[in-house]
């Protein structure tokens, strides 16, 4: 499947469809741990015991100990061994759960010999283009036509250089693992997600199995374990309680003028507003901020659900979270690290603040890298789907930047559903269909 451009309508709906209804069970989860990190093995064992996952579902691999893994090591030390160990279970395994100590991000594809040959030719040409723009800006800025042409030539060559370096072939490890069983595919940017609830059923049937992925991780092993403990405790206590806080930006959305399938800024802002309306109709106490300002620090008590934007790599401690809270912030860098406890990124700070689940990107994802919030939180509120199913059903692309952090089996509204499934609609409403 070819990769899609950011601002074009990537796929249009042929057949609205849903994933199989069979309930996800512990036997469906395979845990991936790093045998080189004792804490990784400890967190994996904790999940195995708490969720009663079969012992044979734990796979320990010899992996790098940092948050990054090269593309070569990903293939040789992670994806390749996983395929070998799971070869006889391709149809049975539904979820891959990575844990603390497993690398978070896979690096870019290395340039081939042919790429290097082109780069050798391109570099002096790009240098000439840059110098020409500088010369015109200094000596002849009034000649707008020449200056614009020179800038276009420079930008075209710079874009070609970036493409030959495969700069946008970086991805989250977990997103790449979703396509573990798929034949080789282009690594530049993304692939469509066959598990998305609107992906055509007839097209999905032609493909190898696609895996759901999640991660139990965080700034410390203790926080990673807490994600498991809190999820189970909330489920056993009857479910998640508290308020929902939604931080939109007041960006107007007109579906008649939407040419991007609702995946631009306006479409996502509308989906935030639809999230608030959907949860309010379900009977949940909801606070919606539809202005460009963010919620102020300590202004959101009793927060069970939080979603909003846009504060890039600048966490704002606006919420006091209830146990089991699910929260994520749409911005470009919020899962660049999960283990740097001193960073201002949203994901590690939300985990430190007590949430049980979050999601975010390991690099620039564009808006298309995120689920539509009204769909993600809508399916979660039905109580019918686990956390990982809600994510897999709503994230639009794979082999890309976003990672889900939390117990994949967490089902916070199972005992007290807030919504019926048919209340969850494609978001934003009236947007052009996404899959075609």
Helix (H, G, I), strand (E, B) or coil at 293: coil
With respect to residue 21, please indicate whether it lies within any of the assigned structural domains: no
With respect to residue 433, please indicate whether it lies within any of the assigned structural domains: no
Same domain, yes or no, for 189 and 287? no
Scanning 35-112, the segments in alpha helix (DSSP H) are 38-50, 71-73, 80-86
Contact partners, residue 102, CB within 8 Å, separation at least 6: 32, 33, 34, 40, 63, 173, 215, 217
Q: How many domains does the chain have?
A: 3
With respect to residue 5, please indicate whether it lies within any of the assigned structural domains: no
Q: What is the pLDDT of residue 16?
A: 37
- Asked if 98 and 406 count as a contact pair (C-beta separation under 8 A), the reply is no
Same domain, yes or no, for 194 and 340? no
Same domain, yes or no, for 127 and 272? no
Helix (H, G, I), strand (E, B) or coil at 201: helix
> To which residue do tokens 């614009």 refer?
148
Q: What is the pLDDT of residue 166?
A: 63
Mean pLDDT, rounded, for 325-351: 97
DSSP letter (8 states) at residue 357: B
With respect to residue 294, please indicate whether it lies within any of the assigned structural domains: yes
Instruction: Tell me the pLDDT band of 137, cut-offs 50, 70 and 90.
Output: confident
Q: Which residues pair with 392 in a beta bridge?
A: none
Same domain, yes or no, for 196 and 292? no
- CB-hemisphere CA count at 13 Å for 391? 32
Same domain, yes or no, for 382 and 275? yes
Average model confidence (pLDDT) across the chain: 91
Contact partners, residue 10, CB within 8 Å, separation at least 6: 4, 192, 261, 263, 368, 396, 397, 434, 435
Least confident span in 5-14, 158-167, 281-290, 304-313 = 5-14
Helix (H, G, I), strand (E, B) or coil at 377: helix
- Asked if 293 and 275 count as a contact pair (C-beta separation under 8 A), the reply is no
Q: How many CB atoms lie within 10 A of CB 42?
A: 16
Over the stretch 160-210, which tens digit does the pLDDT of each residue have?
777 766 678 899 999 999 999 999 999 988 999 999 999 999 999 999 999
* DSSP of 272-289: HHHHHHHHHHTT--EEEE
Same domain, yes or no, for 221 and 200? no
Same domain, yes or no, for 193 and 280? no
Instruction: Tell me the pLDDT band of 3, cut-offs 50, 70 and 90.
Output: very low
Q: Would the pLDDT of 19 be above 60?
A: no
Percent of the chain topping pLDDT 70: 91
Least confident span in 136-140, 213-217, 411-415 = 136-140
Same domain, yes or no, for 235 and 224? yes
CA distance 403 to 398: 10
Q: Would the pLDDT of 385 be above 60?
A: yes
Q: Would the pLDDT of 7 be above 70?
A: no
Q: What is the pLDDT of residue 64?
A: 98
Q: What is the pLDDT of residue 436?
A: 64
Output 117 or 352, whichever has higher pLDDT.
Answer: 352
> What are the distances in angstroms from CA 388 to CA 96, 357, 409, 431?
10, 10, 7, 25
Same domain, yes or no, for 58 and 190? yes
With respect to residue 295, please indicate whether it lies within any of the assigned structural domains: yes
Contact partners, residue 87, CB within 8 Å, separation at least 6: none
Over the stretch 50-61, which tens digit does the pLDDT of each residue have?
999 999 999 999
Contact partners, residue 318, CB within 8 Å, separation at least 6: 245, 247, 294, 295, 296, 297, 298, 299, 300, 306
32 phi and psi, to 5 degrees?
-110, 120
Q: Which domain holds residue 157?
A: 113-164
* DSSP of 219-273: SSHHHHHHHHHHHHHHHHHTS--SEEEEE-------GGG--STT-SHHHHHHHHH
Over the stretch 334-345, which tens digit does the pLDDT of each residue have?
999 999 989 999
CA distance 29 to 104: 19
Same domain, yes or no, for 60 and 151? no
Which structure tokens are listed for 219? Answer: 């700034």
With respect to residue 51, please indicate whether it lies within any of the assigned structural domains: yes
Q: Would the pLDDT of 389 be above 60?
A: yes
CA distance 101 to 39: 7
Output 160 or 381, whichever has higher pLDDT.
Answer: 381
Same domain, yes or no, for 118 and 104? no
End-to-end CA distance of the chain: 12
Mean pLDDT, rounded, for 139-156: 84
With respect to residue 271, please indicate whether it lies within any of the assigned structural domains: yes
Mean pLDDT, rounded, for 144-170: 79
Supply angle C-alpha 72, 117, 159, rounded to 5.
80
Which structure tokens are listed for 161? Answer: 């250089």
Same domain, yes or no, for 207 and 233? no
Secondary structure, 3-state, 137-177:
HHHCCCCHHHHHHHHHHHHHHHHHHHHHCCHHHCEEHHHHH
Domain finish residue from 164, 185, 201: 164
Q: What is the pLDDT of residue 157?
A: 79
- Asked if 434 and 9 count as a contact pair (C-beta separation under 8 A), the reply is yes
With respect to residue 432, please indicate whether it lies within any of the assigned structural domains: no
Q: What is the pLDDT of residue 164?
A: 64
323 phi and psi, to 5 degrees?
-60, 135
Output 176 or 15, whichever has higher pLDDT.
Answer: 176
Task: Record the pTM.
Answer: 0.87
């Amino acid at each position: 499947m070819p990769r899609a451009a950011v601002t074009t309508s990537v796929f249009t709906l042929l057949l609205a469809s849903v994933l199989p209804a069979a309930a996800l069970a512990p036997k469906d989860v395979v845990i991936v741990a790093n045998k080189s990190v004792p804490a990784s093995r400890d967190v994996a064992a904790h999940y195995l015991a708490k969720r009663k996952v079969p012992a044979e579902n734990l796979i320990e691999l010899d992996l790098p100990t940092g948050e990054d893994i090269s593309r070569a090591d990903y293939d040789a030390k992670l994806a390749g061994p996983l395929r070998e160990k799971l070869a006889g279970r391709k149809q049975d395994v539904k979820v891959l759960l990575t844990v603390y100590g497993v690398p978070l991000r896979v690096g870019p594809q290395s340039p081939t010999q042919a790429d290097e040959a082109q780069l050798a030719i391109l570099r002096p040409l790009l240098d000439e283009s840059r110098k020409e723009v500088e010369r015109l800006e200094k000596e002849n800025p009034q000649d707008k036509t020449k200056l614009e042409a020179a800038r276009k030539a420079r930008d075209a060559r710079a874009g070609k250089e970036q493409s030959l370096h495969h700069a946008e072939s970086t991805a989250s490890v977990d997103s790449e693992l979703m396509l573990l069983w798929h034949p080789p595919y282009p690594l530049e940017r993304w692939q469509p997600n066959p598990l998305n609830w609107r992906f055509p059923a007839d097209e999905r049937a032609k493909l190898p199995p696609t895996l759901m992925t999640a991660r139990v991780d965080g700034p410390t092993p203790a926080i990673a374990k807490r994600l498991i403990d809190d999820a189970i405790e909330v489920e056993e206590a009857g479910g998640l309680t508290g308020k929902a806080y939604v931080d939109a930006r007041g960006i107007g959305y007109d579906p008649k003028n939407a040419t991007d399938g609702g995946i631009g800024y306006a479409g996502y802002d509308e989906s935030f507003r639809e999230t608030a309306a959907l949860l309010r109709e379900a009977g949940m106490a909801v606070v919606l901020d539809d202005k460009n300002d963010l919620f102020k620090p300590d202004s959101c008590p009793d927060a069970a659900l939080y979603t909003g934007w846009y504060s890039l790599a600048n966490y704002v401690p606006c919420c006091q979270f209830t146990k089991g809270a699910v929260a994520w912030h749409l911005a470009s860098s919020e899962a660049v690290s999960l283990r740097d406890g001193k960073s201002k990124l949203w994901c590690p700070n939300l985990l430190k603040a007590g949430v049980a689940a979050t999601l975010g990107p390991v690099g620039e994802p564009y808006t298309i890298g995120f689920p539509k919030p009204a769909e993600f939180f809508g399916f979660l509120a039905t109580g019918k789907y686990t956390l990982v199913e809600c994510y897999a059903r709503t994230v639009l692309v794979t082999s890309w930047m976003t990672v889900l952090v939390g117990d994949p089996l967490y089902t916070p509204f199972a005992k007290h559903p807030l919504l019926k499934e048919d209340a969850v609609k494609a978001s934003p409403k009236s947007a052009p269909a996404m899959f075609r």
